[in-house]
Amino acid sequence: MLVNNAGTVVDRLAADTTAVEMRHTFEVNVFGVVTVIHAMLPLLRASLAPRIVNVSSTTASLGLTSGGADFGGDAERRIAYSSSKTALNMLTVQYAHAFAKDPGLSHIKINSATPGYTATDLTGHRGTRTVEEGARVIVDLATLDSAGPTGGFFNDQGRVPW
Ligand SMILES: NC(=O)c1ccc[n+]([C@@H]2O[C@H](COP(=O)([O-])OP(=O)(O)OC[C@H]3O[C@@H](n4cnc5c(N)ncnc54)[C@H](OP(=O)(O)O)[C@@H]3O)[C@@H](O)[C@H]2O)c1
């Protein structure tokens, strides 16, 4: 199993955010994931039950964000972070489709998971969920059986709208 958990955030108003800051965020949250998946594909290909979990964010949801959902934290300061996680979600869908078409990779399940607003360094420990609560959906998706879904976006309550 491969859990792409590493992530970074720039805490900045949209009008103050530069392309340089955006690029650093995408470097870690998007290109970092492509780098690791590409490097791990030989091992995943050889695995009997390979699982990839991309740790995304509820704030990546275009549907929830455009609908004005309150995710906790400061909605006005997450332009780089949320857009990078939306791109990450598209990676999940694109890889799922590509794997399904390749007989050597079609046994890989890849999903996006969101832990919710969790008390970690990333949130300055202001998150309202514990690490154990946040980790649950990630562990569930990393240990899916062969009937489990692929190419989806989940929290511990079920599917999250794209
Ligand atoms: N906390 C939340 O509310 C929340 C909500 C939704 C999604 N998430 C996601 O959950 C994941 C874990 O975050 P967290 O909340 O546990 O935050 P965290 O405590 O800040 O952990 C982030 C981790 O990413 C690693 N990392 C950052 N940049 C890296 C790089 N360039 N190369 C390698 N490792 C790097 C950090 O390593 P070092 O410690 O060595 O720097 C750290 O272990 C992230 O993808 C985050 O976006 C968190």
Q: Which pLDDT belongs to residue 34?
A: 98
How far does the centroid of ligand 1 lie from the alpha carbon of residue 93, in Å?
22
Residue at token pair 């154990």: 132
**Domain segments of the chain: what residues?**
2-159
Residue ID of nearest Cα to ligand 1 atom 35: 6
- Assign 9 a pLDDT band (cuts: 50, 70, 90): very high
Q: Which pLDDT belongs to residue 98?
A: 98
Tens-place pLDDT, residues 25-76 = 999 999 999 999 999 999 999 999 999 999 999 999 999 999 999 999 899 9
Q: Which pLDDT belongs to residue 99?
A: 98
* Neighbouring C-beta atoms of residue 47, cutoff 10 Å: 14
CA angle at residue 33 from 23 to 68, to 5 degrees? 65
Task: Give residue 31's Cα distance to chain centre.
Answer: 12
Q: Is 93 near ligand 1, meaning CB less than 6 Å away?
A: no
Instruction: Please tell me the class of the 2-159 domain.
Output: alpha beta
* Ligand 1 pocket mutation pick from 3, 4, 8 by most atoms within 8 angstroms of CB: 8
Q: Which pLDDT belongs to residue 3?
A: 98
Q: What's the average model confidence in pLDDT over 99-126?
A: 97
Tens-place pLDDT, residues 62-110 = 999 999 999 998 999 999 999 999 999 999 999 999 999 999 999 999 9
Q: Which pLDDT belongs to residue 29?
A: 98
Q: Which pLDDT belongs to residue 84?
A: 98
Mean pLDDT for all residues in the chain: 97
Q: Which pLDDT belongs to residue 104?
A: 95
How far does the centroid of ligand 1 lie from the alpha carbon of residue 131, in Å?
12
